[in-house]
Structure 1
């Protein structure tokens, strides 16, 4: 107790000598020093010294912290998260990392290998297989989910329907493609312009590309007119320019060929850059505005 009393008397004596204004300033200094010191310490705890920013959209796992709402007769009782990144608004292009597993990709490649044939083109008026040679040099095959006895394509197709909110019945069969070294697909549209292809019973709204392999060099999916860039009559449709998406096994790419009003989006022109090293495998799902026969 004596020590405390002596210390208190010394502090009081010291405070008396300084005066009230000096004591007030001294206390303010210690308060501010403590405040800024604690702020600096909290910043050091953040990764790379950067303070975390608020997330605009938070991913939600199935069975996570959010309670599902009561749903309609065709709804579901769980919350599903499918992460994606918007790559472009012109055209509308979305990237889905890890959309499929390695095992699923390997299974699709295995079932397709024995049935590959040279890829064909939808021909415009006046075009023939001979005068369009070299535009599309890949090999491929078509297979529907109902033909796949492993069930892999059924799972992939269901996930695509969830990601696009377009029913499975509007999708064409999967087109599984292989691009070897030097093979490519010149820039083209997936939608069919009636002025060039004649009247259409239905139109392709969107395309979903599931990359089944990594590509060491080349093989990017490219959008040369992204955001209106280089949109002129002098564009060389063989050039690999504009927005380029590198294939990564298991990742998905969704882009829309039509505007919401049903007209063709000119910026949806796209192609496949030549494979320089390695091999490219991709499964394409074209989605239409009408129900398709299975």
Structure 2
């Protein structure tokens, strides 16, 4: 019995140390990107919202990579990370996608949209629900081989520090006026989905459209102030959908356990259409 306890304790210690080292690597990677962009990032989300339109490519940050295909694929010098919360861990990646990439994903998805579903905790299958009123579709596995999709998936892997093979298929979503997604967790609470690839570790949410009123991504357990969500002021933190921006957040804590504070939702769209693309990442290869 004592030996078994020691083995379990050792494994837990190993996992915890691994998660901490991973987080430190992510932090170092983010700081390196900040330095390479040649500009400092805003210290608050409020400042980001007021200055979002000023995030333009800096010639000094791009010129050194002008002939580097890998740097171009990763959009180094263009993507500007902003940590907005450490608990839960949330990073806004400004200019993560190009305008052409956003338009391409929307064009591919439009003729294939269907009513969105949620995961049934008893069966692990997708079912329709009033908590989610959008329409969406998943890219086909063969489409992951397309150069543009391959580039986006590699970029997601590098910025999240999660291997490409651990990622689910990209899902493209459209929220029209009055549509929303009630607060929820991305990690699984059923035993079916974790059998293939393990638990969800992190989520990359990419915005594909502009001119949207409302439709914020809302984190009710992040921050200590108030934010706008679908035209209402609520407690927590929200991210305004801006075309090309992305939100990276972790569903698991450094202890390797699901993080309840990662609860989030899509606020009601007041006008326009909110298009987004979501990539969920697992513990193991799928």
Instruction: Quote how far apart the aligned CAs of 1:240 are.
Output: 5.8
> Where is the strand percentage greater, Structure 1 or Structure 2?
2
Q: TM-score, normalised by structure 1?
A: 0.66
CA contact (8 A) 2:223 2:237 kept: no
CA contact (8 A) 1:220 1:244 kept: yes
- Aligned partner of 2:284 among 270, 275, 290: 290
1:198 aligns with 2:194: no
Distance 2:256 2:224 in 1: 19
- Aligned partner of 1:153 among 139, 149, 170: 149
Q: How many residues align?
A: 215
CA distances 1:179-223 after superposition (whole Å, capped 9, x unpaired): 000010000000013xxx236321000000110002431000000
1:170 aligns with 2:166: yes
Distance 1:156 1:98 in 2: 12
Report the counterpart of residue 58 of structure 1 in structure 2.
35
- Aligned partner of 1:133 among 129, 133, 136: 129
- Aligned partner of 2:95 among 74, 94, 98: 98
Report the counterpart of residue 244 of structure 2 in structure 1.
250
1:143 aligns with 2:139: yes
- Aligned partner of 2:80 among 80, 83, 86: 83
Q: Structure 1 unaligned runs (5+)?
A: 1-54, 66-77, 231-237
Report the counterpart of residue 208 of structure 2 in structure 1.
212
> Alpha carbon RMSD of aligned pairs, Å?
3.2
Distance 1:190 1:228 in 2: 22
CA contact (8 A) 2:186 2:200 kept: yes
Distance 1:56 1:149 in 2: 27
Report the counterpart of residue 255 of structure 2 in structure 1.
261
Instruction: Quote how far apart the aligned CAs of 1:84 are.
Output: 0.2
Tell which deviates more after alignment, 140-149 or 279-288.
Answer: 140-149
State how 1:266-277 maps to structure 2 within 5 Å. Answer: 266-277=260-271
CA distances 1:151-176 after superposition (whole Å, capped 9, x unpaired): 32111111111101111000000010
Distance 2:104 2:134 in 1: 20
CA distances 1:104-143 after superposition (whole Å, capped 9, x unpaired): 100110000000000011012399988x731000000000
- Which one has a bigger Cα radius of gyration? 1
CA distances 1:234-279 after superposition (whole Å, capped 9, x unpaired): xxxx996420100000111100000122111111000000100100
> Where is the helix percentage greater, Structure 1 or Structure 2?
2
| Partner SS, residue 119 of structure 2 | coil
State how 1:9-24 maps to structure 2 within 5 Å. Answer: none
Instruction: Quote how far apart the aligned CAs of 1:83 are.
Output: 2.2
CA distances 1:6-46 after superposition (whole Å, capped 9, x unpaired): xxxxxxxxxxxxxxxxxxxxxxxxxxxxxxxxxxxxxxxxx
Distance 1:108 1:128 in 2: 25
